[in-house]
Structure 1
């Protein structure tokens, strides 16, 4: 094997490589991804030694030994509704490393903890700060603030969950006559949904309060009742002319909702939700006179 032409240069290269891989090792072994984004790790080499520099940057709004709840954007809801801590030392396999108990950015005899907060809006756990504590002691966490469930949050959940559509039923069914009182009605009931929002139990009650009937001939009508089958005649429509093709009547139902959080008082949601119904099929024909004896 040929000897390097410049042994000193060769050794300097080896030292730089060793510093580089040591820095990578420290970054991967001791810091999680969220904490790593807040640290600066570098390295270098001299003729006789190599070194690794680690600069610990604190997250905005937090200091070692303290982590405080961070409020949202003026909407009255906490940005974080829960807190927990994780030791910065220890392997991903759950094995504690004794050599890591005392860290260079904490005083001797102390260890560093990541403080994590659960985001109210997403439910995700994110690193928000850190604390140095005496070895064997856990950090002091902020007091969790229960998330406020607002009508806007419940309305978004209700739209995501969806409400049942109503079918426009007619009598006569399938075929009716010109200038004849065709009866319209629909089945629509109060709907109840039990959901968990921001970690809290919420009951939503949606009541149908408005029905918009589309007759299929270009006309429509809005009522506050769903109608009823014959002999009731609560909702009727007269078609002025026969149709060449079957018409497609439908009914759109508008719901007004209210909600309660963990069995508390009912709170209204001012905005309504309208669900468009499926189209049916209805032929409109003219009666043909027939002579009889």
Structure 2
């Protein structure tokens, strides 16, 4: 599986810097969450030390049932015995979801998804020309526990499409895993003698949940992943009848 380039928003990058500071405090850096005041002034200021008479308003985002998170501020100083510089806003008013890690298609494709087991009937041995070969796959769901940017995450991968290649130029794509005999839901009839290999490519969709999300919400992963598995090669033979004394 290829590795796609992941683009993180500036908001989330700054949130990661704040989390890194919490884990490894720097005496020359200080963070604080606080409301915003003087929005029309030359320099945005927090209300940490109080606000002069307001000269503007701040648009606070609507976050559904969640409460918007106050702006995050940061200030630095050259040395521990020197004065702090001015507060600088790192993140404005945001919804809590914007501070959770995005689990992207690239992240999804880094998971080692075990392909579903593919079957054919008749099993083993030769297959016959002009006789239906039944194929099906085990209906499975894969679960993962992983870590992304320091966040613990649960992921569920579910097959959404099955693409069968029968090795003679014929293919079949379906959303169903099929079923064993006596079902003929997914089958293929070979029209000539050959040595064939049946290959199954499975497309997976995913959803994820972040431990730190107070809502415990499952979110869809944009994009898909793929796995491929091949059955052992087999001969397709023609059944001939012979008259005997």
TM tier, smaller: 0.5 to 0.7
What TM-score do you get using the length of structure 2 for normalisation? 0.62
Structure showing greater radius of gyration is 1
Distance apart, 1:157 and its partner CA: 2.6
Conserved? CA contact 2:119–2:137, under 8 Å: yes
Q: Which position in structure 2 is the counterpart of 1:251?
A: 200
2:80 to 127, 133, 136: 133
Conserved? CA contact 1:260–1:267, under 8 Å: yes
Q: Does 1:82 align with 2:20?
A: yes
Q: How does 1:63-212 map to 2 (within 5 A)?
A: 74-79=9-14, 80=17, 81-83=19-21, 84-85=24-25, 113-115=27-29, 130-133=77-80, 147-152=99-104, 155-174=105-124, 175-212=126-163
**Secondary structure of 2:204's aligned partner:** strand
- In structure 2, list runs of 5 or more residues that go unmatched: 1-6, 32-74
User: What is the total number of aligned residue pairs between the two structures?
Assistant: 177
Distance apart, 1:280 and its partner CA: 2.5
1:210-266 Cα shifts (integer Å, max 9, x gaps): 0000001011010111112212211110001011xx211110000111111116111
What TM-score do you get using the length of structure 1 for normalisation? 0.53
1:260 to 181, 186, 209: 209
**Secondary structure of 2:110's aligned partner:** helix
Q: 1:261 to 1:229 in 2, by over 3 A?
A: same
Equivalent-residue separation in structure 2 for 1:144 and 1:159 (angstroms): 31
1:88-125 Cα shifts (integer Å, max 9, x gaps): xxxxxxxxxxxxxxxxxxxxxxxxx45499xxxxxxxx
Q: Which position in structure 2 is the counterpart of 1:281?
A: 233
Q: Which position in structure 1 is the counterpart of 2:70?
A: none
Conserved? CA contact 2:161–2:175, under 8 Å: yes
Conserved? CA contact 2:108–2:224, under 8 Å: no
Name the one with the larger helix percent.
1
Q: How does 1:26-65 map to 2 (within 5 A)?
A: none
